[in-house]
Structure 1
């Protein structure tokens, strides 16, 4: 069966990552969380006190960063986690202190060029599902299926708060909403690869959609694209 690239973009806490993981698992595709890559860089910058205004410091730091996605020992669902320089940082990169800074790091041109190059390399063989904010517009403008997820900000905040609570991080709903609003503003107005819907992307509002319904919607669209790609090859 012919493989395709599925690019899922959209705002924070719209269910991009969880949906992408489930879709990748159902299709037997590789899942790449581009947001986790930016979070990993942010974590490294925080840990090493990298100044976001110093290009030399940023370049030096990027040269010392290696990001991988691996299935950790004991995990049986086939879902990979984020490793930074050999260490599993999946939990750390989801913390609020990283969330508060990730958009500022993500808008740095050096950082975006560094990670986009890695992401494009990962997708050369196709058969991937990647989510983020510029996947369908910058990383894979040739992706066969492009989706753009959105949802009401109050619902997004509720989901993010529940996610943090499950990790024993107590954060007020007001603080979560403010964080999401700040990230939305930075993501949509930055000069380098701003968040926007690709012209040929399909928009999905997830406000009143259950997770299972969300996955089913994407899978139906993916199967159509895969069959279409197979028809094109056979002609």
Structure 2
């Protein structure tokens, strides 16, 4: 199997870019962030998002799955498709919280590795190259400036009708960056052999092509 690991900060466009690259290359796209979002969604709906021990206890009755229908990924939590409910700012912050809990990371680790062992995948997240798939064939660290990422996220939320300000979105981006890079377990950082890919000055199509080119160079 050929595995591609893409890491990077929140809002760098990893999911959109990785999904498009996977479709172009005929790989399966694995959005690991969606797994953490599903855990966060479960914790929020149960009212335990601020209680680490209750989140850990919750895992015993939690089942998260990624299913693919016509190549499109759907996230299932305890048998229900929650894909439409896990992209809010509240769940984003919740995902950052639960991802700092070692027991949550261990809970999801085997699921991620099992998918990679059975398929050609492009997997994105915060610690794919450093922890989840340290032997990936291609490792990419995809990033953009906080201001650039906040602007993109702000536009996306406005198009969805969310009542947000650019200042609040930028504050959330900076807070998530700090949380993700300073957590004790699997902090966000490039692996030593990752290819650095800065998309700050690239549009979406250019960013996708950049990633495809990096992967194709390694496949040869």
SS in 1 for 2:62: coil
1:59 and 2:56 equivalent? yes
Work out which of the residue numbers 166, 189, 193 in structure 1 matches 2:182.
189
* Max Rg structure: 1
Report if the CA contact (8 A) 1:68-1:83 is conserved: yes
CA distance in 2, matches of 1:23, 1:59: 35
Residues 48, 135 of structure 1: alpha-carbon distance in 2 compared, 3 angstrom cutoff: same
Report if the CA contact (8 A) 1:145-1:225 is conserved: yes
SS in 2 for 1:80: strand
User: Which residue is 1:123 aligned to?
Assistant: 116
CA distance in 2, matches of 1:147, 1:194: 16
Report if the CA contact (8 A) 1:99-1:179 is conserved: no
CA distance in 2, matches of 1:101, 1:85: 18
TM-score, normalising length: structure 2: 0.94
User: Which residue is 2:15 aligned to?
Assistant: 17
Shift of 1:54: 4.6
Q: Unaligned regions of 5+ residues in structure 2, if any? A: none
Shift of 1:53: 4.0
Deviations 1:150-179 (A, max 9, x none): 111111001111222222212111111111
Across the aligned residues of Structure 1 and Structure 2, the Cα RMSD in angstroms comes to: 1.5
CA distance in 2, matches of 1:51, 1:204: 33
Deviations 1:105-134 (A, max 9, x none): 110111011111211111112400110000
CA distance in 2, matches of 1:91, 1:161: 18
User: Which residue is 1:48 aligned to?
Assistant: 46
Shift of 1:51: 5.6
Aligned length: 220
Work out which of the residue numbers 142, 145, 162 in structure 2 matches 1:149.
142
1:214 and 2:207 equivalent? yes
Q: Unaligned regions of 5+ residues in structure 1, if any? A: 228-235
